[in-house]
């Protein structure tokens, strides 16, 4: 990905981060969102893991056929990036690329603990801020990100 295409994609991702702010999010909502993601992934036969955190607590997790423990590791690493930076893991990685950098080289964080690859999105409540993350791992990073955005949009719309 060139710096220009990274900057263009980053602009779209930043707009998604501003857009996908929720009026509320609790444990029941985590189950609803996670279950919808799972049902969609089963229907599409996607080999992914899905995880939702509220704070540091994992409140939803599932693995689908074709996924592996490696996907769990990626999900954990991407979730740490989203929590640390308060934004999508894809947006963090794209921010580095848009400036001609590379998160793994320039982020000054242990890449065995942090991964700035697409697939984890902050759960942000209006007037409160970020309260958790929702993410998937198992597809190419842009596809992981798009799947989460698709379902966060649908979830937000369902809240009215």
In terms of pTM, does the model score above 0.85?
A: yes
Work out the pLDDT band at 7, boundaries 50, 70, 90: confident
Per-residue pLDDT for 1 more than 90?
no
Say if residue 3's pLDDT is above 70.
no
149 CB-near residues (< 8 Å, 6+ apart) = 16, 20, 121
The full set of domains in the chain, from first to last, is: 3-158 (3.30.450.150)
Maximal C-alpha separation, the chain: 42
Outline where DSSP puts E strands in 81-147: 120-125, 129-137
What is the Cα–Cα distance from 114 to 108, expressed in whole angstroms?
10
For 39, the token pair is 């049902």
Nearest-angstrom CA–CA distance, 15 and 80: 21
- Under the banding of pLDDT at 50, 70 and 90, the label for residue 36 is very high
Structure tokens at 158: 């369902």
Q: How far apart are CA 4 and CA 14, in angstroms?
A: 15
Q: What is the mean pLDDT of residues 98-119?
A: 95
**Strand, helix or coil for residue 54:** strand
CB 150 within 8 A of CB 50: no
Q: What is the mean pLDDT of the chain?
A: 96
Question: Average pLDDT for residues 51-68, to the nearest whole number?
Answer: 97
């Amino acid at each position: 990905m060139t710096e220009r295409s990274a900057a263009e994609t980053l602009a779209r991702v930043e707009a998604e981060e501003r857009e996908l702010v929720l009026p509320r999010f609790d444990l029941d909502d985590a189950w609803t969102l996670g279950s919808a993601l799972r049902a969609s992934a089963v229907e599409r036969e996607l080999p992914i893991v899905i995880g939702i955190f509220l704070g540091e607590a994992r409140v939803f997790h599932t693995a689908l056929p074709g996924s592996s423990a490696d996907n769990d590791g990626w999900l954990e690493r991407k979730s740490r990036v989203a929590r640390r930076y308060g934004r999508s893991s894809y947006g963090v990685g794209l921010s580095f690329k848009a400036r001609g950098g590379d998160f793994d080289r320039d982020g000054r964080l242990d890449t065995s603990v942090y991964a700035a690859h697409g697939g984890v999105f902050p759960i942000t409540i209006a007037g409160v801020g970020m309260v958790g993350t929702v993410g998937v791992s198992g597809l190419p990073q842009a596809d992981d990100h798009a799947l989460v955005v698709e379902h966060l949009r649908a979830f937000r719309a369902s809240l009215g």
